Chains A and B, each alone.
Chain A
Amino acid sequence: MAASLVKSLSKLCINAPKANLLPNSPWLKGTSSFQFSTLRNQTTLLKKNQSLLPAMKTGSALDHRSLLHTTSVCASTYERKLWREPRVIDRFYRLHWGAWIRTRGGRKKKLYKKTAKHRAYLQQHIFCTAGQSIKLSRLVTEHWKEPKYFVDTPYDPYHKRTNCSFFPNYPKFYP
């Protein structure tokens, strides 16, 4: 069923002169029979230009070994880091609407003598008070108050206030 679907879809993909990956890529290995041709039936950028340069080497420039391994970027230059008060940034987290959250003390210490309920209580991340949040906002620069759009963090759903009549989420208006 899947094969027939794939076969029917193979005719649908555009045979445009747009370039595509070279056909001998590792992630196409073992699927030499598939027909879905965005990757297969079309000329590659390289092959397309073979006519222009017949003398050029047209072997696979993609080394199989290195194809699925890209260089691991581990850059952290001084220039990219902005001024910060380390004692604030190491301990608190600012939500986009102005609240700061923190952890409880003792959540990693002497757990053997703590009940499960106590351990769960200590695992919580809690809000700072309004006064504390104001003070923390004064201790950091404007850069730290701009929203950071990290993805797949546990704090994602908390950047918007819900169920609060004093700070409602108005939908964006597009004229």
Chain B
Amino acid sequence: MASKVTERALNLVKSMPRVGLGNIKDLPTATYKKQVNRGRRQKKKGRGDKGQGSRNTWDPLGYEGGQRPLIDSVPSEKYYGQYAIRRQYPPISLLELQRMIDLDRVDVTKPVDIVSICNTGLFKFEVAKNHFGVNITEEGCDVFAAKINLEIQWTSELVIAAVEKSGGTITTRYYDPQCLAALFNPLAHFKKGLPIPKCKLPPQDALAYYSDPEFRGYLADPEKILLAREKLAQKYGYKLPDLGADPVKDLLLMRKDPLQIFYGLEPGWIVNLKDRCILKPKDEDYLRYYYNVH
């Protein structure tokens, strides 16, 4: 005894017209030749009647009918000097960061770096567009109140003061484009099966910034950073919280090696997601490459 569904299906098939050449669709792999347009109908090739459109006598860009165009009369100024080389740092405000922390998008019990910010899905950057990391802006410096170990690529003095006033620590850190691609999407990088890259030193014009204790550069002298913390607290008039007595001081003082890009992982290692293991190099040459700056 057939069920209602099968009965209905059979009735449908019975009522349909016979299959023939007229009611069959071609396979998806079928190719069609381009329709060649010949004859009286294609006299103008889709260009219309007369005029610049059909005769290809367009005016040059910026032409203003013969009068001196705007783009010729204004003096030049190198606004976009070296635009293809200059580094860019897409911004995120302190307010946004605070909001992400409040909504549990960012885990403050672990060090927060660009990986954590990208993993929220709310911040994206593109290495191909010369984006070299995240720039924390000053909006929300009055309301920021999170004890955080922050590692970013560019910031200003006021932001550093706001973070340190709340009891946190902040470092500015350079990553080269290859490392940034791995940091933006670590999962995709591990799936490729490539070893974790070692981070290169910053280029010459960035070296000054990342060696500066005023900006908490990762290459700066730690002693000078401590002095700079005190000076900044005096400048902005807040009491510098005591790092020594802090219960989470271990977290706040966690730092990556200048060659290292992921916490807990070293350059040269391969993370095997399928077999859930890590492969470490043993060869002399590999170790010499991955554990030295050059």
How distant is the Cα of A62 from the Cα of B125 in the complex, in angstroms?
A: 32
A104 in contact (CB, < 8 A)? yes
User: Which B residues are closer than 8 A to A by beta carbons?
Assistant: 61-62, 70-80, 82-91, 95-96, 99-100, 103, 105, 122, 129, 131, 135, 154, 200-204, 207, 211, 219-223, 226-227, 243-244, 249-250, 253-260, 264, 266, 282, 284, 287-288, 290-294
User: What is the bound-complex CA distance between A125 and B62, given in angstroms?
Assistant: 21
Give me the 6 closest cross-chain CB pairs, A-B, nearest first. Answer: A93-B79, A61-B292, A45-B291, A36-B222, A149-B88, A19-B257
Contact of A61 among B70, B226, B294 (CB under 8 A): B294
Instruction: State whether A18 touches B257 (Cβ < 8 A).
Output: yes
Q: Is the CB of A91 within 8 A of B71?
A: yes
Query: Cβ of B80 and Cβ of A9 under 8 Å apart?
Result: no
Residues of chain A within 8 A (CB-CB) of B135 are 149, 151
| CA distance in complex: A8, B249 (Å) | 12
The interface on chain A, measured as residues whose beta carbon lies within 8 A of the other chain's beta carbons, has a size of 71
Contact A148/B88 with A14-B253, A89-B80, A93-B79 known, Cβ cut-off 8 Å: yes
Residues of A within 8 A of B82 (CB): 76
Q: Is the CB of B100 within 8 A of A85?
A: no
Residues on A with C-beta less than 8 A from B294 are: 61-62, 66
CA distance A140 to B264 in the complex (A): 46
Q: Quick check: A87 and B257 within 8 Å, CB to CB? A: no
Alpha-carbon gap, A33 to B253, bound state (A): 20
Q: How far apart sit A85 and B69, CA to CA, in the bound complex (Å)? A: 14
In the complex, A61 Cα to B294 Cα: how many Å? Answer: 8
User: A68-B207, A105-B75 are contacts. A149–B131 as well, Cβ < 8 Å?
Assistant: yes
B114: min CB distance to chain A, Å:
14
B74 touches A103 (CB 8 A): yes
Q: Decide: B86 and A70 in contact? CB cutoff 8 A.
A: no
C-alpha gap A151/B89 in the complex (Å) = 7
Contact B211 A18 (CB under 8 A): no
A88 — nearest CB in chain B belongs to which residue? B71
Q: Out of B122, B254, B266, which one reaches A45, CB within 8 Å?
A: B266
| A52 to chain B: closest residue by CB | B282
Give the Cβ gap from B10 to chain A, nearest Cβ, in Å.
Answer: 50
CB contact between B84 and one of A14, A46, A55, A80 (< 8 Å): that residue: A80
Q: Is A110 an interface residue (CB 8 A)?
A: no
CB of B107 to closest CB in A, whole Å: 16
CB contacts (< 8 Å) of A85 on chain B: these are 61-62, 71
Shortest A25–chain B CB gap in Å is 9
Nearest B residue to A128 by beta-carbon distance? Answer: B70
**What are the interface flags for A62-102 relative to B under an 8 Å C-beta threshold, 1 for contact and 0 otherwise?**
10001111111111100011000101111111000000001
A107 to B77 Cα, complex, angstroms = 11
Q: What CA separation (Å) do A148 and B257 show in the bound complex?
A: 30
A2 to B260, CA, bound (A): 30
A38-B222, A72-B203, A91-B71 known; A139 vs B259 contact (CB < 8 Å) = no
Task: Note all chain A residues with C-beta closer than 8 A to B89.
Answer: 149, 151
Q: Does B96 contact A103, Cβ atoms closer than 8 Å?
A: no
Contacts of A69 in B (CB 8 A): 204
Look across to chain B and name the residue whose beta carbon is closest to the beta carbon of A87: B71
Which residue on chain A has the smallest CB distance to residue B82? A76
**Measured CA separation A91–B80 after assembly (Å):** 9
> 28 A-B contacts, Cβ less than 8 Å apart?
A2-B227, A14-B254, A18-B255, A18-B260, A18-B266, A20-B257, A39-B222, A55-B284, A56-B288, A61-B292, A62-B292, A66-B294, A67-B293, A68-B211, A69-B204, A72-B204, A80-B84, A80-B85, A81-B84, A88-B62, A91-B74, A103-B75, A135-B62, A139-B62, A151-B88, A151-B135, A172-B99, A174-B122
